[in-house]
Amino acid sequence: MTPWVRWLITANVVMFLLTMVMPDLMKPLELIPALVLQRPWTLVTYAFLHAGFAHILFNMLTLFFFGPQLEARIGGTNFIRLYLFSALSGAVASFVTPFAAIVGASGAIFGVMLGFARYWPRATILIWGIVPVQARIMVIIMTVLSLFGGMGIGQAGIAHFAHLGGFAGGWLYLKWMERRRFVMAVAPREPRRSFGGGVAAATIERWKRIPLDALHPANREEVGRVLTKLEQHGPASLTADERETLNRFSAG
Say whether domain 3-181 belongs to CATH 3.40.190.10: no
Q: Give kind and range of the element (H or E) at residue 155.
A: none
Q: What CA–CA distance (Å, rounded) separates 160 from 136?
A: 19
Q: How high is the pLDDT of residue 139?
A: 85
> Is pLDDT larger for residue 232 or for residue 16?
16
pLDDT digits (tens, 9 = 90+) for 129-175: 778 889 888 888 888 877 766 555 444 456 678 889 999 999 999 99
Out of 50, 106, 146, 160, pick the active-site residue: 106
Q: Residue 226 above 80 pLDDT?
A: yes
Q: How high is the pLDDT of residue 233?
A: 81
Domain boundaries, the chain: 3-181, 189-249
Q: How high is the pLDDT of residue 161?
A: 83
Out of 163, 194, 233, 250, pick the active-site residue: 163
55 is catalytic: no
163 is catalytic: yes
In the chain, the DSSP E strands lie at 124-127, 131-134
Q: How high is the pLDDT of residue 101?
A: 92
Share of the chain above pLDDT 70, in %: 87
Q: What CA–CA distance (Å, rounded) separates 25 from 96?
A: 25
pLDDT digits (tens, 9 = 90+) for 89-119: 999 999 998 999 999 999 999 999 999 999 8
Residues 51, 99, 162, 42, CA torsion sign:
negative
Q: What CA–CA distance (Å, rounded) separates 98 from 93?
A: 10
Q: Residue 64 above 60 pLDDT?
A: yes
Q: How high is the pLDDT of residue 194?
A: 41
> Is pLDDT larger for residue 191 or for residue 21?
21
Which has the closest alpha carbon to 106: 152, 156, 154, 170? Answer: 170
